[in-house]
């Protein structure tokens, strides 16, 4: 009788190693309060992830990913039984990197390094406990796990460019099918037709919102492409080609959606095709909802077609794992238990060290003083101001400890300058990007560039300039008038500033880790509205004059706003 038959099944090396690993994962990612997912509540990575994906429909597929990944791993169980357990030292390297990423995310109060830590620790555990051959077998299930994490910066960064690209191509296609239109930025309006008595925008008005840009379906389509390619295609290159094709297919699907909305507006009217405003809230029509399914319909048909070109009979080929007899597995003896005890102990020590490192006082960087003076001056030279306090809608979307100061300054010539300060709270950075908030107020962004601003004390900082417009009907004639504006903004930290949103995020990470300093950031924003014009018309000189006036205004008011560290 073999020694393995005398050993209780629960005492096998595999059960011991993965039980200890499971406990470590639960403690690090399911129990330890890791990040302020909400302004007043610090949650573990898994708890915050579960709530976030449940509250954001575009990431609702993420909780399904671990189940799919586990199923793929289960399909490989026969291969794993037949593969000798030879733990490799490279797993320790990944575990060390995971520990570093875990601490970085905790120190900076953000979950993304924690997501990376989970991916690294799972890979490290497979290598450390199983070995290189185990990693080869489980590589795709492990890689597929990366789709479980909501990559909000990807959505944030790509949404605006995809809006403009989608609108531009949709405009060209509408021209080809005989629907004359005018396009600027992400907005498409039917062209005026004097012969038929139609004003601009009367037949249809489309604005490619973030939800219609393709990015909210892109990540899900990338996941489907990876899944489809793994199951039905052979070879690395066909799978990569199909995976990359998810990007143009997502845009193509949204192009079809925009064309359907334009045609529906012409055939059935805007209220039926798009929706209507009810008590200031847009009510999406059934036609609009159904048109949304075009994104996935086009993408899935496109995936099938691309796969057919790559491998003509791919749909007949499903991967099947041939189960091997249980006795094909390598026999384990009680002697196998000692090295696994050592390896499991290392995993346990790793988990304990990660949590203890985060719990140390040095992982609680102090909050810096406010970098701005929130009391904006009532007057500035000949300019007088009027205060605009935070609205209830703004209060509902911001943390209770975020403060806002906003005044509109009116000069002798009637030119108005809006100055706004938004100071983040005590527990979590809650600053939004203006190019995320402004579209919600009806503004379209048609361009952005970094410009210099003088702060009045000899210092020069970079600010982000955004050119904006929105179309509003004339109350008397109903004819659309285009309102244009310029927004200059930057993020002010304690003794540092950056015009870029992700620049201020990177500075937060850098200083919290290397300087043990948690910046209390402020968004410094200025806006000037330009004289209204006809849609499609733009006066470059008026815009240049507005920018110059805004820069001069900032030079005057900045010394009273920015706090200089001693």
CA distance 554 to 421: 13
Tokens of 269: 């009217």
Tokens of 141: 């299930």
Quick one: pLDDT band at residue 135, thresholds 50, 70, 90? very high
Q: What is the pLDDT of residues 407-436, one digit of tens each?
A: 999 988 778 899 999 998 766 556 777 876
Q: What is the 3-state secondary structure (H, E, C) of 16-60?
A: HHHHHHHHHHHHHHHHCCCEEEECCEEECHHHHHHHHHHHCHHHC
Identify whether the C-beta of residue 497 lies closer than 8 Å to the C-beta of residue 519: no
Interstrand relation of 281-284 and 522-533 (parallel, antiparallel or unpaired) = unpaired
Residue 318 pLDDT > 60, yes or no?
no
Quick one: pLDDT band at residue 155, thresholds 50, 70, 90? low
In 10 A of CB 190, how many CB atoms? Answer: 22
Identify whether the C-beta of residue 451 lies closer than 8 Å to the C-beta of residue 462: yes
380 three-class SS: strand
CA distance 439 to 248: 24
In 10 A of CB 552, how many CB atoms? Answer: 13
Identify whether the C-beta of residue 471 lies closer than 8 Å to the C-beta of residue 207: no
Write down the pLDDT at residue 158.
67
Q: What is the pLDDT of residues 46-68, one digit of tens each?
A: 999 999 888 887 788 899 999 99
Q: What is the pLDDT of residues 460-505, one digit of tens each?
A: 889 999 988 887 777 677 677 778 899 999 999 988 999 988 888 8
Radius of gyration of the chain (CA): 29
CA distance 29 to 240: 31
Write down the pLDDT at residue 424.
86
DSSP per-residue codes, 460-492? EEEEEEEEEEEEEE-TTT--EEEEEEEEEEEEE
449 three-class SS: strand
* Residues found in the chain: 566
Q: Mean pLDDT across the chain, nearest whole number?
A: 82
Which range is least confidently modeled, 232-246, 275-289, 507-521? 275-289
CA distance 387 to 404: 11
Q: Is the dihedral of CA 118, 119, 121, 125 positive or negative?
A: positive
Write down the pLDDT at residue 86.
87
Write down the pLDDT at residue 497.
92
Tokens of 294: 């075009």
Residue found under tokens 């719990």: 359
Q: Is the dihedral of CA 232, 233, 236, 239 positive or negative?
A: negative
Alpha helices in 360-500 (DSSP H): 392-397, 434-437
Write down the pLDDT at residue 152.
74
Residue 22's alpha-carbon distances to 89, 129, 195, 408, in angstroms, are 20, 13, 73, 57
CA distance 1 to 3: 7
Tokens of 262: 């334009």
Write down the pLDDT at residue 186.
76
Write down the pLDDT at residue 409.
95
Residue 309's alpha-carbon distances to 248, 304, 312, 316, in angstroms, are 17, 9, 6, 14
What pTM did the predictor assign? 0.79
């Amino acid at each position: 009788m073999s020694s393995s038959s005398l050993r209780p099944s629960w005492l096998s090396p595999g059960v011991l190693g993965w039980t200890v690993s499971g406990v470590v994962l639960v403690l690090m990612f399911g129990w330890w309060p890791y990040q302020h997912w909400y302004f007043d509540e610090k949650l573990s990575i898994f708890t915050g992830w579960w709530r976030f994906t449940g509250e954001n429909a575009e990431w609702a597929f993420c909780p399904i990913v671990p189940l799919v990944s586990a199923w793929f791993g289960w399909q490989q169980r026969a291969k794993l039984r037949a593969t000798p357990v030879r733990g490799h030292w490279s797993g320790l390297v990944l575990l060390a990197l995971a520990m570093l990423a875990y601490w970085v995310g905790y120190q900076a109060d953000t979950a993304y390094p924690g997501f990376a830590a989970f991916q690294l620790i799972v890979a490290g555990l497979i290598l450390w406990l199983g070995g290189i051959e185990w990693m080869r077998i489980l590589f795709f299930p492990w890689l597929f796990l990366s789709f479980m994490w909501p990559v909000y910066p990807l959505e944030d960064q790509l949404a605006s460019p995809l809006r403009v690209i989608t609108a531009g191509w949709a405009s060209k296609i509408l021209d080809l099918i005989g629907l004359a239109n005018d396009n600027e930025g992400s907005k498409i309006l039917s062209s005026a037709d004097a012969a038929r008595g139609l004003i601009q925008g009367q037949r249809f008005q489309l604005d490619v919102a973030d939800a219609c840009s393709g990015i909210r379906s892109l990540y899900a389509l990338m996941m489907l492409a990876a899944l489809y390619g793994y199951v039905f295609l052979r070879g690395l290159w066909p799978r990569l080609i199909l995976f990359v094709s998810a990007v143009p297919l997502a845009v193509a699907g949204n192009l079809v959606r925009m064309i359907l909305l334009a045609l529906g507006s012409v055939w059935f009217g805007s209220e039926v095709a798009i929706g209507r405003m009810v008590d200031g809230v847009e009510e999406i029509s059934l036609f609009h909802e159904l048109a949304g399914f075009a994104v996935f319909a086009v993408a899935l048909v496109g995936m099938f077609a691309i796969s057919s070109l790559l491998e003509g009979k791919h749909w007949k080929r499903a991967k099947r794992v041939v189960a091997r007899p249980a006795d094909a597995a390598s026999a384990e003896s009680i002697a196998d238990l000692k090295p696994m005890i050592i390896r499991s102990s290392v995993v346990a020590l790793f988990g304990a060290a990660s949590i203890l490192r985060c719990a140390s006082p040095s992982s609680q960087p102090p909050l810096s003083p406010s970098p701005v003076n929130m009391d904006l001056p009532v007057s500035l030279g000949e300019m007088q101001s009027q205060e605009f306090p935070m609205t209830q809608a703004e209060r509902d979307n911001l943390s209770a400890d975020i403060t806002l100061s906003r005044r509109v300054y009116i000069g002798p010539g009637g030119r108005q300058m809006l100055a706004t300060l938004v100071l983040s709270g005590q527990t979590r950075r809650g600053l939004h990007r203006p190019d995320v908030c402004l579209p919600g107020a009806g503004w379209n962004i048609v361009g952005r560039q970094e410009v210099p601003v003088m702060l009045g004390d000899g210092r020069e900082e970079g600010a982000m300039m955004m050119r904006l417009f929105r179309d509003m009907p004339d109350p008397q004639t109903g004819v659309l008038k285009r309102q244009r504006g310029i927004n200059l903004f930057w993020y002010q930290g304690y003794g540092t500033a950056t015009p870029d949103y992700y620049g201020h995020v990177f500075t937060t990470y850098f200083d919290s880790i290397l300087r043990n300093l948690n910046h209390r950031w402020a968004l410094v924003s200025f806006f000037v509205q330009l004289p209204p014009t006809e849609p499609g018309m733009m006066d470059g000189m008026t815009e240049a004059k507005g920018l110059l006036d805004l820069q001069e205004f900032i030079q005057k008011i900045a010394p009273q706003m920015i706090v200089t560290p001693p």
